Structure 1
Amino acid sequence: MTVRSYQELVDSATAGLKQKRGIMHDTYGLDRAKGWDYDVKHAQPNFVIWGDEEQPLLYAETLEVGTFLPAHSTWKWGWCNPSIPSEQQEKLAVLRELAEITGQELFRLDQPFVISREDASGLLAMAVQHLDAQGGYAAKIVNMDGQSLDAHIAYTAVAGPG
């Protein structure tokens, strides 16, 4: 795959993710969103978006595709991240197939690698498309070491309250 065709694939996946976000926004009234909670380690659904008076607007089951560490501009795949539960790692392992599809070895790298924030967003979009997920989000969190990072999560199942 040429660099141009790879970029076209990323652009197409990014447009698809933007469309999915728009549908979720309209379906669940996310214009009323006031915040969210995310817990990778515990039972699904593990992502909640809430509105006024902390009333849930959306519940999502997620997979943490990867993490972007802004301080070092590095990406680490969720399928090889020991802080991600093993059952999620197993589900995420299919993302390595993107190396064959795109010819890009970065989909097989099991160590953090340097990448821009924009390219990290492209990896999330491609993962959402490959996983046939309902959407995705880059959640800004602080890890147990006190480092700020972006947890790039794919919504595998989404539901409203009740």
Structure 2
Amino acid sequence: MDDRSKHDHSGWEAVVLAARERARSRQALMVERFGLSGDVAYDWSIDDARITWSREGKVFLTGRLTVIGSVSVAQQTWLWSWANESLPQAALGDIERVRRFGEENGFPVLPWPGFTSHLELVAEARMVAASVLDAEGLWVEPTDDVQLHFTIHDLVLAAGGE
């Protein structure tokens, strides 16, 4: 979609509002249900698209990650994972569904490979992606150079987990 003038603004606002409510309730449920606060450590891998949480060195929860996009801190730009050739295929999950959803519904921010990373627009894009992908939660991993944004899926308590 190259024509950036086509945009269903009122439709986008409605989708964002629904996605925001869904993301908030799902995120809160995930944190509460699995005890993801306090002395919890986590480890993640893009190569195998997995995340694990542990307490006192014992893994109690695992899940699948989908990289949805990244923010370049220096350039202040967002890049959708489907447009990032450096990511392993496993980390992309069903991200193409988000791009297609944007094309089919007149929401050009979803099929554009990237955009200037205005805080609110990144938040909206993340929440809509989480909704389209039916994610259990959202995760962000900041570094000095980049913020990686993930959705979390398929959470499973480890044997002996809480």
The interval holding the TM-score normalised by the smaller chain is 0.7 to 0.9
**TM-score, with length taken from structure 1:** 0.82
Question: RMSD value over aligned CA atoms?
Answer: 2.1
* 1:50/1:87 CA distance change after superposition, 3 Å: closer
Q: Percent identity?
A: 18
**Aligned pair 1:3/2:9, yes or no?**
yes
Query: How big is the shift at 1:65?
Result: 0.7
For 1:131, which of 126, 130, 133 is the aligned residue? 133
**Aligned pair 1:39/2:45, yes or no?**
yes
For 1:94, which of 94, 97, 100 is the aligned residue? 97
Alpha carbons 2:94, 2:133 under 8 Å: kept = no
For 1:116, which of 102, 118, 121 is the aligned residue? 118
Query: How big is the shift at 1:137?
Result: 1.3
* 1:123/1:33 CA distance change after superposition, 3 Å: farther
* 1:136/1:151 CA distance change after superposition, 3 Å: same
Write 1 or 2 for the structure with the bigger share of helix.
1
**TM-score, with length taken from structure 2:** 0.82
For 2:72, which of 64, 69, 79 is the aligned residue? 69
* 1:32/1:160 CA distance change after superposition, 3 Å: farther
Query: How big is the shift at 1:24?
Result: 0.8
**Where does the alignment leave 5 or more consecutive residues of structure 2 unmatched?**
1-6
Query: How big is the shift at 1:36?
Result: 2.0
